[in-house]
Structure 1
Amino acid sequence: MSNQSIGSSLNISQYAPLFFDQKRFQADLEKQDPVKVFRDALDASKSHFKNRFYEGEDIHNLVNELARFADLILAFAWDRYEWQDDVSLIAVGGYGRGELHPHSDIDLLILMKRDRSSHYRSNIEQFIAFLWDIQLKIGHSVRSISQCVAEAKSDLTVATNLMETRLVAGNRQSLLDMLRKTGPDRIWASTDFYKGKMIEQSLRHQKHGDTEYNLEPNIKEAPGGLRDIQLLNWTAKRHFNVYRRSQLVQKGFLTEEEYLTIRRDEEFLWSVRFGLHLIAGRSEERLLFDHQRKLAEMLGYQDSRGRLGIEKFMQRYYQTVLSIRELNDVLMQYLDEAVYRRGKTKKVAVLNDRFVIRDNYIDTTSEDTFRKYPSALLELFVILGENDKITGIRASTIRQIRLHRNFVDKKFRESSQNKELFLRLLKVPFKLSLQLQRMNRYGILGKYLPEFGKIVGQTQHDLFHIYPVDVHTLQVIKNLRRFVRPEIAKLFPVASHIYKNLAKPELVIISALYHDIAKGRGGDHSVLGAVEVTEFAKRHGLQPEEINILNWVVENHLLMSTVSQKQDISDPEVIHNFADHVGSIRQLELLYLLTVADINATNPRLWTDWKGSLINNLYFETKRLLGQGMEVLEKKDSWVISAKTSAVKILEPLGVTQDDAELIWQDVGDELFLRERAEDIATFTKAIYFSESDDEPIILVRDVGVEIPVATQIFVYAKNRQRIFSVISAVLDKLQLNIQDARLQSTSDDQAFDIFYVLDDKDLPIGGDEKLCRFVIKELAEGIKNPNFAEFNIQRRTPRVLKHFSLKTSAKITNKTGGSTTSLEIITPDRPGLLAHLASILLRFKINIHNAKIATLGERVEDVFYITDLDHNPLINDDFNKELQETICQELDARNDFERQDSYTPQKKRRQSNV
């Protein structure tokens, strides 16, 4: 045994939890295998703390008591070996702070006055091995005091760890000597420590995308996570030479409100982390989709009308990390300004009675500015947007904004001066989106527009919308304003031209601000948003015509995206109906701008050149029709004749006469000439005419696009038309090529005349890779010749993240009056082999597919098929249609349920607490 008993060295027995009977534990150690006795105690502690967590006990108590119990176990283990008073067992890091979660590492330092590691080698090895045997997850180091000083000098992380230490067993004086010799007056002075930690934080934030809003965030390391709180603590504590965060209030660094906010946010993240460890059964800091629903249930977030419990939970999470990052930014900047740069201001310029510029940062003239002039809470952001020479806001002013933001109340919102300021803000020439982001971060935007405040941090539980609604909304506005920048204009020339020529660009900005404002309320958010934007416009004195335009754009903000991706925009009737609904070129332009900005702000992978080409085609065709007058509806017959004539002009110099071409075209429907360009029709026709074999499939693979490739076109002319779509879908799926559009024709002798537009798994065309194109042709040809093998040889696994989204399949059949086809819209989870499976169902029901619009939106697909029976008639039998819909839903859901069956189990709920 050591020279110092547990009781004399630490009196650690006072920390023993009530469930732990020390006398019995010590008695058992004398009779039983020590490893078993310690393991039993640890197992009992796990159950004890887990149950207390579920009972809703204060998370600070749990985290602190877990650390104290670890102290007790470690002290008993330490006491099993002989130690002199020159060696001590020290808790470091998070455990040193007295914080421990169920599966956190227990970081230990075996500290010696002098380097006598060789003398204690045997004891140390046995001690560490014993801790492993009893299944404690430890990290350890063995150092003398001088070694600690040397390591801390060269490594900021070591210096930081040594700041947070507690004596577990041994000589307290050694610990005090080490702390004194690694303090800020010896190494890592306060200013150097601050600079090093800011670099460290910047790199850490970059690693996590420099955003709080990842879909599967790391609650410890990501921006706004626990590490941001810890860094703030470390830096301020080192400067003020204090041990507890509460002492920073006494030092005047933290206000009482800031201290309570940090504590509240920390408690929430601790509860999330504690629960995450219990669910994962290991040290897991990532809030994976696998665990989000279980955590939401555990912490008491329940589904309600229009909102899932998991969405409420994630909204609370995002609001919390936003709050933490805001405080981290403000307080670290304040530490730099008020402490390290104190008295070093060089340039001061007076703006007015309320604001001055200090070294390019805006500041208030006094601490009473916002109390005396509440409108200054808006005026500040207007000034920033009208003066691009101002770098930012001083931290002291940000703290004043936070302190006075409750001045933005109903009376404030009704003030004509404030309404004018807000409209003026929407017209500022510089960095509007940045000013709105600042207003959102400091709580002003949600106060001035309470309807906006409701969507702060609000999420949608899917892979399609990767940002909370407020962040997405401000990104849409940022996208709109960026259209005028030369480098962006090259990517979006149409949007750039439109935006530059808008008479009142603030109208599209207001539309963007309100387009998703009603999400999460239940009902149609577009309709509800139109009501909200109308009220805003009336409240701010806009003209009746402007109010009507805003109402229409917000209510129809999804229309252009839907029509371009789900309808056949090569059909003149589709263009006519869309133009009729839009009504004017002005509304078309605003809708186009909002659509492009919206899609690009939803998910970086959502926008593709292919999708852009569809939207651009719809825009230009609609604009042409609106410009000519709605009474001009081009006849399909004239469109077909024009396409054939143009194709023949291309073919004749190549040795294909008009009669030769007409012979090939005689069994192909008019849809080919309505949908495809004359150049493409000529290419297909030439390939068929010069084909040397009637039995071999003709397959062409090439990129298409006007100025740049937007997709890869695959043309297939082959026999066995009925199974072609199923086979090609299976082969392309195996090759990880995603069908964007499929246009399927047939001839009287059962030849398929099919055209597919595909992108690879990075949403790029593949035509530039000749080797890959040859391989695609080879695989397709073999699949067409051996359809049974191709259709059922899909072996790709479903990605992990897709398995955790439950969505019941829906199948909707619609017949349009006078239409030649029936539309079948299917919404279902995205899974490998989905299209091939759907095609096999339609084949069993003896259905022809004429066109397919394929849209993958995160974890789900929204596909539209235009179908007929084998006689090319629409499906009008209600009983038949019902059976088809039910079969599709049953088969796809059974397939999805099989994959998902092991990915989710109901979670025990924690009692309501302060979380």
Structure 2
Amino acid sequence: MHKVSDVDRLLIDIAAVDANLRDCQSAPPVLRAALADADETLAARFREGAPASELVPLRAQVVDQIITRLWHICLEEYAEEACLAAVGGYGRGELHPASDIDVMILIPESVPDQFNEAVSAFVTSLWDIGLEVGHSVRSIEDCKRQAADDITIATNLMESRPLAGNEKLFQAMQTATSPFQLWPGPAFFEAKWQEQQQRHERYHDTSYNLEPNIKESPGGLRDIHMVGWVAKRHFNAKTLHDLVHRGFLEEAEYDALMQGQYFLWDVRFALHLLAGRREDRLLFEYQTELAKQFGYQDADHTLGVEQFMQRYYRVIMQLNRLNELLLQLYQEAILYADIDERPELINKRFQIKRGFLEVTHRRVFTRYPFAMLELFLLIEQRPEIKGVRAATIRLLRQARNQIDDAFRADIRCRSLFMEILRQPQGLTHALRRMHHYGILSRYIPAFAQITGRMQYDLYHVYTVDTHTLMVVRNLRRLAIPKHQHEFPLLSRIYAQLPKPELLYLAGLFHDIAKGRGGDHSELGAEDTYAFCLQHGLSRYDCRLVAWLVRKHLLMSMTAQRRDISDPAVIDDFAQEMGDQTHLNYLYLLTVADIRATNPSLWNSWRGALLLELYRRTQRALRRGLGQPIEEETLVAQAQATARELLRTHGLHHMTVRSIWRHFTPEYFLRYSPQEVVWHTRAIHAAGDAAHEPLILVDEQGGRGGIEIFIYTRDQDNIFALAVAAIDRLNLDIQDARIITTANGYTVDSFLVLGENVTAEAIKQTLSEALKSTTGALTENTRPLPRRLRHFTTATEVDFAEDAKNSRTAMELITGDQPGLLARIGQIFATLNIRLQNAKIATIGERAEDVFFVTDQHNDPLSPAQQQELRAAVFAALNDEADLLRRGDGV
């Protein structure tokens, strides 16, 4: 391995460089070439296997050589009066391929104008060389004043080092900005801790987003910097290893900290080279290539990129744990060192001191292994506890290897775990702490397999373990009075549950089998049943929790993929539920699961859809299983309710009858009485103008979005024209209902989501599109969003017969793309296929839509027609996807 001190011999021919340096104007080309050669050599070494831990300081020394030579050339007689200093990461001697290079020019209190001109030429030359430079020019008084006002400037100055010039001036600056002059240790620590908390909040207090920031996310490089800053400021440590000598870190912890930093350095180094610029976000466009560079390959049940990202997430989890441990140790040493407080004894194993829970002696977890779970129960039961003492956390981490099969079989441990789940408060924090300290994955070994596991798609934005704990959090919030305004109905249902802990167990296990291959719901149900049985639950409760895990996707899939206005669909779903208790548990789990999958996934439409399914199923269960209500009865009930409402609006029953006489029974099944009233009144008001497209818009639609209603003469491409117009308004279609009347009119409804679009704009755009005499479809010009370009979803087209409704169901799975529905609608029009209904679902980067279609005679599609339709869809979507992915548009 090459040593860092070899910089002159290995990277720059200093003699050749110096021979060609003449003045400040001619220097940049020479130094730019030297820098480019050095960077190319560093990149080649990295690709050959040299670690970033060797190359990062080496690049800093290369830049030192270049900058100091330019300094002496450009400033000439002033070079020894001022001081050139490296600050920030460059001050630490750490430079990645595209890192910012921050320098400070420290000047005497007064300088001649010629000096300012020379500094300006120097900075301009740095940019001419190709260095991304951030610079400041300060006197000692400037440094002292600005550092006092800004903790970031104080931190940068603390990490500065002299490069060239007047070192006495530099030493005077260090003295003026030392802890004896400003930002003493306690104040510095509190300010930086608050700064870290705010930074973590910006990243939703989790590192496990799909595109994490290597530097700023929790557990990232900035957390390591934070540890070092406090060590330098308060303890005058020169290196992180000094923390071992001072008793803050054990040697194994120091090794883990450094190995974590070196891994992140490797990733960041590779990312800069791949992006060709400074980039600290692990964006989708880089993840797959980085995985290949680090040697990860696709396996049977997991992609190479998923393996790479799992390692990344596990590293930052460990770094986050070490950061928390050290900051708590700092807190005790810096803030509480002079506070002498007698501990409050809880029992012979635990006590509270200064608000923190701690063990009564170092051998507690060795003598009483069950105390590793008792600790979390006490945190729940004693809300006054602010946290766990750092020394106790360290003992807990050292003892967790004792959690084995014998530990899990201990009745005390099983009882403690169930008591943790049954506590009226603190469950979310207890489980998060158990996970953070590495206890949860020891107690439930299958949880270790999903820790840090990501799925390479846009639907699941968190790792499986983070998502799982968020599901439990969402369930727990339903029981907390201050959160009950969020989902009042769900909170009322929750209050009726006989055993809420069964719901938490289902949430904890619902994705436990992700990544094993096979159906994770079935595999997870087997794990769940065994765990519940081992923990003393009755066989009925065990079956209930296992059923919830097995069926945890059923309710959302039924609501989004099937026609829940169809009584047969509701009857089938009710049969699956069996009783109200199962329905209640599954409804709560489904909402919690969706909300924890993706912050943007939950919306009012999805909530309204699930609520409609819940209420329809509830009514079916009250009638009794196997006794579905007849369609005729449902239609009659809907019409009677609508007639009564219309009568209050002054519409005579004969007027209503004349409007309704052409409407099919399906219309009254698909629309609520309130919607029927809205439509009927508008059609009546239109009168003689009814031959024009009638377009209604309700911006506060009862189904959780903007409701668009279209009533016009039927023609083959109505659907294609309508969805193309909606797409041009940047509105996302969530649901479509297409019904044709007996007299040749079409009744189309769209539920859309979007912002900054008025009802008038929607009406005008749709009216112009539908009155188009040519009937031509305006081509989509919106580019494919950046995130979608990096995912390839193979197009799948499957058909199924909907014999009861005399139509064909076409299921389409493909990559989401602008104008998708418009293109499908155009295909239908071209092939003389009539769209009767549609269920639209966008799941991350995937479009999963179901279209209920017939031929032009309202009969199901023949096998030949299905094959023709499949071929047309494949041809159109695959061609368009290729164009969009290249960014060419259509």
With normalisation by structure 1, the TM-score equals 0.92
Q: Which of 771, 774, 778 lines up with 2:760 in the alignment?
A: 774
Residue correspondence of structure 1 range 884-899 to structure 2 within 5 A: 884-899=869-884
Displacement of 1:359 after TM fit?
A: 2.8
**Are 1:750 and 2:744 an aligned pair?**
yes
Residue correspondence of structure 1 range 313-462 to structure 2 within 5 A: 313-346=308-341, 348-462=343-457
Distance across 2 between alignment mates of 1:276 and 1:350 = 52
**Amino acid paired to 1:881:** Q
**Amino acid paired to 2:749:** I
Displacement of 1:42 after TM fit?
A: 1.1
1:21 corresponding residue in structure 2: 13
Residue correspondence of structure 1 range 646-661 to structure 2 within 5 A: 646-652=641-647, 654=649, 656-661=651-656
1:803 corresponding residue in structure 2: 789
2:47 corresponding residue in structure 1: 54
Displacement of 1:70 after TM fit?
A: 1.2
**Amino acid paired to 1:202:** Q
Cα offsets for 1:457-494 (capped at 9, x unmatched): 21122222121111111111111111123343333233
Cα offsets for 1:235-265 (capped at 9, x unmatched): 1121111211111211212221221121111
Contact persistence 1:345–1:358 (CA under 8 A): no
**Are 1:858 and 2:844 an aligned pair?**
yes
Q: 1:488 to 1:147 in 2, by over 3 A?
A: closer
Contact persistence 1:115–1:143 (CA under 8 A): no
1:912 corresponding residue in structure 2: none
Residue correspondence of structure 1 range 556-571 to structure 2 within 5 A: 556-571=551-566
Contact persistence 1:824–1:866 (CA under 8 A): yes
Cα offsets for 1:811-831 (capped at 9, x unmatched): 221114545221111122222
Q: 1:775 to 1:83 in 2, by over 3 A?
A: closer
Count residues with an aligned counterpart: 881
SS of 1:812 mapped into structure 2: strand
Distance across 1 between alignment mates of 2:625 and 2:666 = 23
**Are 1:543 and 2:538 an aligned pair?**
yes
Q: Which of 689, 696, 701 lines up with 1:700 in the alignment?
A: 696
Q: Which range moved further: 495-504 or 180-189? A: 180-189
Q: Which range moved further: 150-159 or 776-785? A: 150-159
**Amino acid paired to 1:781:** S
Q: Which range moved further: 227-236 or 690-699? A: 690-699
Contact persistence 2:185–2:334 (CA under 8 A): no
Q: 1:576 to 1:183 in 2, by over 3 A?
A: same
Distance across 1 between alignment mates of 2:581 and 2:648 = 44
Cα offsets for 1:800-842 (capped at 9, x unmatched): 2222222122222111454522111112222221111111111
Q: Which range moved further: 126-135 or 362-371? A: 126-135
SS of 2:450 mapped into structure 1: coil
1:267 corresponding residue in structure 2: 262
Q: Which of 211, 214, 217 lines up with 2:209 in the alignment?
A: 214
Distance across 1 between alignment mates of 2:163 and 2:652 = 95
SS of 2:710 mapped into structure 1: strand
**Are 1:238 and 2:230 an aligned pair?**
no
SS of 1:710 mapped into structure 2: coil
1:900 corresponding residue in structure 2: 885
Contact persistence 1:307–1:520 (CA under 8 A): yes
1:258 corresponding residue in structure 2: 253
2:495 corresponding residue in structure 1: 500
SS of 1:18 mapped into structure 2: helix
Q: Which of 583, 600, 608 lines up with 1:605 in the alignment?
A: 600
Distance across 2 between alignment mates of 1:221 and 1:96 = 19
**Amino acid paired to 1:65:** L
1:40 corresponding residue in structure 2: 33
Distance across 1 between alignment mates of 2:871 and 2:180 = 76
Displacement of 1:343 after TM fit?
A: 3.9
Residue correspondence of structure 1 range 520-599 to structure 2 within 5 A: 520-599=515-594
Contact persistence 1:829–1:859 (CA under 8 A): yes
Distance across 1 between alignment mates of 2:676 and 2:141 = 82
Contact persistence 1:731–1:791 (CA under 8 A): no
Displacement of 1:179 after TM fit?
A: 2.6
Contact persistence 1:364–1:397 (CA under 8 A): yes
Displacement of 1:521 after TM fit?
A: 2.0
Cα offsets for 1:288-321 (capped at 9, x unmatched): 2232223222222322222222222222222222
2:798 corresponding residue in structure 1: 812
Distance across 1 between alignment mates of 2:5 and 2:540 = 77
Q: Which range moved further: 794-803 or 647-656? A: 647-656
**Are 1:72 and 2:72 an aligned pair?**
no
2:719 corresponding residue in structure 1: 725
SS of 1:667 mapped into structure 2: coil
Displacement of 1:865 after TM fit?
A: 1.1
Distance across 1 between alignment mates of 2:56 and 2:488 = 56
SS of 2:260 mapped into structure 1: helix
SS of 2:635 mapped into structure 1: helix
Displacement of 1:657 after TM fit?
A: 4.5
Cα offsets for 1:738-767 (capped at 9, x unmatched): 2222221213443212222222259xxx8x
**Amino acid paired to 2:173:** M
**Amino acid paired to 1:333:** Q
Distance across 2 between alignment mates of 1:159 and 1:46 = 31
Q: 1:271 to 1:787 in 2, by over 3 A?
A: farther
Contact persistence 1:117–1:142 (CA under 8 A): no
Q: Which range moved further: 202-211 or 716-725? A: 202-211
Q: Which range moved further: 814-823 or 245-254? A: 814-823
Residue correspondence of structure 1 range 76-225 to structure 2 within 5 A: 76-80=69-73, 81-83=76-78, 85-112=80-107, 115-116=110-111, 118=113, 120-225=115-220
Distance across 2 between alignment mates of 1:17 and 1:442 = 47
Distance across 2 between alignment mates of 1:844 and 1:599 = 37
Contact persistence 2:105–2:138 (CA under 8 A): yes
Distance across 2 between alignment mates of 1:893 and 1:297 = 26
Q: 1:817 to 1:731 in 2, by over 3 A?
A: closer
Displacement of 1:286 after TM fit?
A: 2.2
**Amino acid paired to 2:249:** L
**Amino acid paired to 1:895:** E
SS of 1:791 mapped into structure 2: coil
**Amino acid paired to 2:579:** S
**Amino acid paired to 1:295:** L
Displacement of 1:688 after TM fit?
A: 2.5
Gaps of 5+ in 2: none
**Amino acid paired to 1:868:** T
SS of 1:715 mapped into structure 2: strand
**Amino acid paired to 1:588:** L
Contact persistence 2:708–2:749 (CA under 8 A): yes
Distance across 2 between alignment mates of 1:65 and 1:521 = 43
Contact persistence 2:461–2:598 (CA under 8 A): yes
1:629 corresponding residue in structure 2: 624
1:869 corresponding residue in structure 2: 855
Displacement of 1:159 after TM fit?
A: 2.0
**Amino acid paired to 2:392:** T
1:614 corresponding residue in structure 2: 609
Q: 1:642 to 1:65 in 2, by over 3 A?
A: same
1:9 corresponding residue in structure 2: none
SS of 1:634 mapped into structure 2: coil
